[in-house]
Amino acid sequence: MSRTIIVSNRLPTKVQRTASVLSFTPSEGGLATGLGSIYKSDDNVWVGWPGLSIEGEDEQQHVVEQLHADSMRPVFLTDAEIKGFYEGFSNETLWPTFHYFSQYAVYDLTQWETYRAVNEKFCHAVLELAGPDDTIWVHDYQLLLLPQMLRKARPESSIGFFLHIPFPSYELLRVIPWSKELLEGMLGADLIGFHTFGYMRHFLSAVSHLLGATSQNGIVELGNRSVVVDSFPMGIDYEKYATTAASEEAAGHIRQYREALQEVRVILSIDRLDYTKGIAERLKAYDLLLQRHPEWRGKVTLLMVVVPSRDQVAQYQSLKEEIDELVGRINAAYSSITWTPIQYFYRSYPLEELSALYRLADVALVTPMRDGMNLVAKEFVASKEGQQGVLILSERAGAARELSDALIINPTDTIQLAEVMHEALTMPEEEQVQRMESMQALVRQYNVHHWVELFMNRLFYSKNKQLTLATA
């Protein structure tokens, strides 16, 4: 029987070490939920890195056994690999370049070589498991070379690839000294998926400019085979967010928050700490709102959750300092004994508390400088049982292509953003409901299960069409 093998940098389980004891917690992330129905059924399996350095043989064996029971196969990375592959080439070269932050990108030959070696390592791990009839679905920018490596070893396999971050314009991509190898790596797949049509167009243009390969209607011709390229906007587990927000536990949190906040209106911001998310720009716009519309002083609070992320990378450390300083400055300038303009939390919250925040908020500020999709925007929409609430969304998030009933802004235009916050806070209830209802209909229908089904079906048909053509 053929099976499906999912491959991503991280496994859908968080492995953590506290006082030399390892703990295993299932991840609540969208990808884990969406693919749960696949990798947990039949003989299917998920291959990935457990997320921390595990070097002792006994400990590795313990991890293998624990994860095996849940259909996962770990790929162990050494400290040098974590540095060169993950913190290095993935997060200091690909992440900034693909998000149009080339000024932060590092081009380091050793990191590139480590990236290639770790992709090989993943390849070996998959090949140990995969039979010729198996379907392999590779995810994201850490594994761009893997589809081609797998193709060489298994020419007949059905291989899909999905990129979760933006694909940049060819002019940015070409700056990376190894851009051709990266494109060739991706083209090992039968089907390549992106969140938006725009990213797909950038990819096809890069393939044509850098490799001279032609494409028609999203199909790249490579001589002996063809590759289908298309957009598959990722959705969320709508029911999970709608149900959790409506739960008794979330209601309990909301009562508690409301009591503390009194009548104050709430603007919500939730992100991982990342320079792509536009957190500092958002703070500057909020400062401007309080300057240009002093009537909101004492009447609105920005609830800002920043989830710690990649704190080993230099840019993330200095961004944290910049945010701390901005929050401190704004709070010092406007606070009163009874009111704090910004309530800032540098930590992550359990889903029930996150859902309570979504439900409580009058306005959600989702204003990244660049974002592949942005699931927070969709989760906010799904959590709004009473359809009240306004979403302010950056035109540079993939989600803006679908959520056209949000208030769409340019995140670098601070004045516009400040004015749109004012507009959101004064929007008539009827208009809020109208906009929210149409966004909910879309997010409910195009949920994460729909996304998985669409991608897998398309992969199945792309592969079968090729096989039919080859035998004709």
Question: Which SS3 state, helix, strand or coil, does residue 46 take?
Answer: strand
What residues from 25 to 54 belong to the interface with ligand GDG (CB under 6 A)? 28, 30
Stretch that binds ligand GDG, among 108-116, 373-381, 426-434, 435-443 (CB under 6 A): 373-381
Regarding beta strands 13-18 and 21-26, do their DSSP bridges make them parallel or antiparallel, or are they unpaired?
Answer: antiparallel
Out of 158, 367, 374, 414, point to the residue binding ligand GDG (CB under 6 A). Answer: 374
Q: Which helix (H) or strand (E) covers residue 81, if one does?
A: helix 79-81
Least spacing, CB of residue 354 vs ligand GDG, in Å: 5
Question: Which SS3 state, helix, strand or coil, does residue 393 take?
Answer: strand
Asked if 393 interacts with ligand GDG (CB under 6 A), we say: no
Least spacing, CB of residue 91 vs ligand GDG, in Å: 12
Asked if 272 interacts with ligand GDG (CB under 6 A), we say: yes
Asked if 123 interacts with ligand GDG (CB under 6 A), we say: no
Structure-token pair, residue 261 = 């906040």
Stretch that binds ligand GDG, among 13-21, 54-62, 285-293, 370-378 (CB under 6 A): 370-378
Catalytic-residue membership of 79? no
Q: What is the largest CA-CA distance in the chain?
A: 79
- Burial of 309 from C-beta contacts in 10 A (0-12 / 13-18 / 19+): middle
Least spacing, CB of residue 352 vs ligand GDG, in Å: 9
Stretch that binds ligand GDG, among 38-46, 129-137, 346-354, 443-451 (CB under 6 A): 346-354
Least spacing, CB of residue 173 vs ligand GDG, in Å: 18
CA 168 to chain centre: 16
The 181-220 contact track toward ligand GDG, x by CB under 6 A, reads: ----------------------------------------
- Residue 208 and residue 37: Cα distance in Å, rounded? 37
Out of 38, 270, 361, 393, point to the residue binding ligand GDG (CB under 6 A). Answer: 270
Stretch that binds ligand GDG, among 77-85, 295-303, 311-319, 375-383 (CB under 6 A): 375-383
Out of 200, 289, 375, 439, point to the residue binding ligand GDG (CB under 6 A). Answer: 375
Catalytic-residue membership of 134? no
- Residue 83 and residue 310: Cα distance in Å, rounded? 11
Asked if 346 interacts with ligand GDG (CB under 6 A), we say: no
Bridge partners (DSSP) listed for residue 137? 6, 160
Strands (E), 181-273: 191-194, 215-216, 219-221, 226-231, 265-272
Residue 215's nearest CA partner among 235, 192, 234, 236 is 192
- Residue 96 and residue 114: Cα distance in Å, rounded? 18
What residues from 149 to 168 belong to the interface with ligand GDG (CB under 6 A)? 164-165
Asked if 348 interacts with ligand GDG (CB under 6 A), we say: yes
Least spacing, CB of residue 133 vs ligand GDG, in Å: 28
What residues from 423 to 462 belong to the interface with ligand GDG (CB under 6 A)? none
User: Residue 130 or 375: which CB sits closer to ligand GDG?
Assistant: 375
CA end-to-end span of the chain? 25
Structure-token pair, residue 56 = 């002792």
Stretch that binds ligand GDG, among 58-66, 214-222, 318-326, 343-351 (CB under 6 A): 343-351
Asked if 351 interacts with ligand GDG (CB under 6 A), we say: yes
- Out of 140, 237, 371, 405, pick the active-site residue: 371
Out of 6, 38, 54, 354, point to the residue binding ligand GDG (CB under 6 A). Answer: 354
User: Residue 185 or 193: which CB sits closer to ligand GDG?
Assistant: 193
What lies within 8 Å, CB to CB, of 368 at 6+ separation is 271, 276, 277, 278, 374, 394, 396, 397, 411
- Out of 139, 164, 195, 253, pick the active-site residue: 164
What residues from 293 to 322 belong to the interface with ligand GDG (CB under 6 A)? 305, 307
Least spacing, CB of residue 338 vs ligand GDG, in Å: 27
Number of residues binding to ligand GDG, judged by CB under 6 A:
20
Whether the CB-CB separation of 425 and 296 falls below 8 Å is answered with yes
Asked if 234 interacts with ligand GDG (CB under 6 A), we say: yes
- Residue 468 and residue 472: Cα distance in Å, rounded? 6
- Residue 472 and residue 220: Cα distance in Å, rounded? 20
CA distances in angstroms from 415 to 287, 347, 418, 421, 422, listed in the order given: 10, 29, 5, 10, 11
What lies within 8 Å, CB to CB, of 239 at 6+ separation is 447
Asked if 373 interacts with ligand GDG (CB under 6 A), we say: yes
| Residues near ligand GDG (CB under 6 A) | 28, 30, 164-165, 234, 270, 272, 305, 307, 348-349, 351, 354, 371-376, 379
**Looking at the annotation, which residues are catalytic?**
164, 371
